[in-house]
A and B are shown apart, each in its own frame.
Chain A
């Protein structure tokens, strides 16, 4: 009963937020956080150890309500300036200051639907867009080799090939189309093809599904390495973690997923954290530092992608030469990832 009562309160809050002229994203984030807390409390109450398995009587959870609102947005949005992000937070000085400080290094963002798959969707889009924009034919070939290595890892982890083959062909097809586009103007994939693919329910989610399997396989292939981190976030063994928190769609990601995917694809992922937290003592200013914290995930030499690269005679990082190596930049706000665009440094 308590659960359904708070459910309607949250529904009202979400509806108001949508109706407001400028969506207050900070409030939405706060609501989402509260919703998660309420849902977690309800779960603890309903599903604790020793409790009977069976039917739960409430019809719609708070998470469903938030996700229903999100489902009206495209999986991947249009590119926006940081100014639009600033508008969302204009009533929150800490955020405004932090976004202002970001503007020296980042030129824009692209919003990704908040459906639990945002990390994987944002990373996939960010990587393919990098390949497209940089016309990096050799990096496309490297990525295709990486996908082959990931395939071996998935088979090794016990995935039935019939669950990933179609998705793998689909992603490889998209990469090939990017290659064609790069060398033969007017053919192959361009930016609008890429965006259309990532807005298509089937294509977009098959890519997410595949990256979830690749992440799971990477964690399982190096379970001695990942087990302590898994224990830290989920208090389970590696297999259970992968089966319950990596492979199912809509399960949220954290640093274990991020590191494993970065390793598997051999692509560094830079995450900028935008939250209300002021780091005191840093910089010595009166209000504490308003710099965003940055975490850069660097690919391990043990990852599927590095092994594929070494086998192909490309052991070095190669950074700093030519167009550089692919990388992905994300903006993280508590519970959600979007794509971010670093400014090009001449």
Chain B
């Protein structure tokens, strides 16, 4: 659960991140583009809001978000820390204004759904689909309170409760 410590990557973690970097650069997920990976343990990814689909309200088309991914030294045994970079974070019932995301696959431990079978590529696909399936732009209840309370703390220290993971 520790925050990213770039200097202490295990050789396994370093190789895995290199492989993912190569894969992400060659086959980026739809609407995503790697902006920086300096140091290699901190990626910034550009994510376009998903296009409107028939039968769904058009909520995010044309919006642009930035995602920050920080790898820990025990990656992939531990999940990366993934947040939207404020101030422009998607208005979504599972995204706090500070960029923290309430999505089970981003966390381990009790209730968590992270598994080392996931990749950043798959995480981005899940986030895009989380946005695409939303029907109303709204922040989670208690958003302002949560943001002022956690400050700059990693979302990994928050005890999340997840509802239906299809949302």
Contact = CB atoms under 8 A, between A and B. Distances in A.
Contact of A166 (B16, B114, B146, B162): B16
A244 B15 CA distance: 25
B115 interface: yes
B159 A209 contact: no
Given A47-B163, A53-B162, A166-B16, A243 B115 contact: yes
Given A51-B163, A53-B163, A54-B142, A249 B108 contact: yes
Given A55-B159, A61-B110, A202 B115 contact: no
Contact of B102 (A54, A63, A163): A54
Contacts of B116: 163, 209, 247, 249
Contact of B160 (A53, A170, A243): A53
B36 interface: no
A43 B163 CA distance: 11
A40 B108 CA distance: 17
B161 A55 contact: yes
Contacts of B148: none
Residue of B11, B113, B115 with highest tally of chain A CB at under 10 A = B115
A20 interface: no
Contacts of A61: 110, 159
B92 to A, nearest CB: 11
Interface size class of A (residues with CB under 8 A): 35 or more
Contacts of B142: 54-55
A243 B94 contact: no
B19 interface: yes
Contacts of A243: 113, 115, 117
B23 A47 contact: no
B166 to A, nearest CB: 10
B111 to A, nearest CB: 7
Contacts, number: 104
Contacts of B38: none
Contact of B94 (A47, A53, A56, A163): A53
A162 B20 contact: yes
Interface in B95-132: 102, 108-119, 121-122
Contacts of B25: none
A244 B159 contact: no
Contact of A64 (B74, B77, B109): B109
B114 A55 contact: no
B146 A55 contact: yes
Interface string A202-224: 10011001001100100000000
Nearest to B159: A56
A18 B115 CA distance: 31
A247 to B, nearest CB: 4
A248 B108 contact: yes
Interface string A227-261: 00000000000000001100111100000000000
B161 A53 contact: yes
Contact of B12 (A53, A202, A213): A202
A61 B112 CA distance: 13
Interface string A36-64: 00010001001101111111111101011
A13 B102 CA distance: 33
Contacts of A244: 113
A233 to B, nearest CB: 18
A78 interface: no
B51 to A, nearest CB: 25
B16 A54 contact: no
A89 interface: no
A159 B117 CA distance: 7
Residue of A46, A53, A162, A166 with highest tally of chain B CB at under 10 A = A53
Interface string A154-173: 00000110110110001000
B31 interface: no
Interface of A: 39, 43, 46-47, 49-59, 61, 63-64, 159-160, 162-163, 165-166, 170, 201-202, 205-206, 209, 212-213, 216, 243-244, 247-250
8 contacts: A47-B161, A47-B162, A55-B159, A159-B117, A160-B119, A162-B19, A162-B23, A249-B108
Sorted from nearest, which 6 A-B pairs have the closest CB atoms?
A56-B159, A247-B115, A53-B163, A248-B115, A162-B19, A247-B117
Interface of B: 10-12, 15-16, 19-20, 23, 74, 76-77, 93-94, 102, 108-119, 121-122, 140-142, 146, 158-164, 167
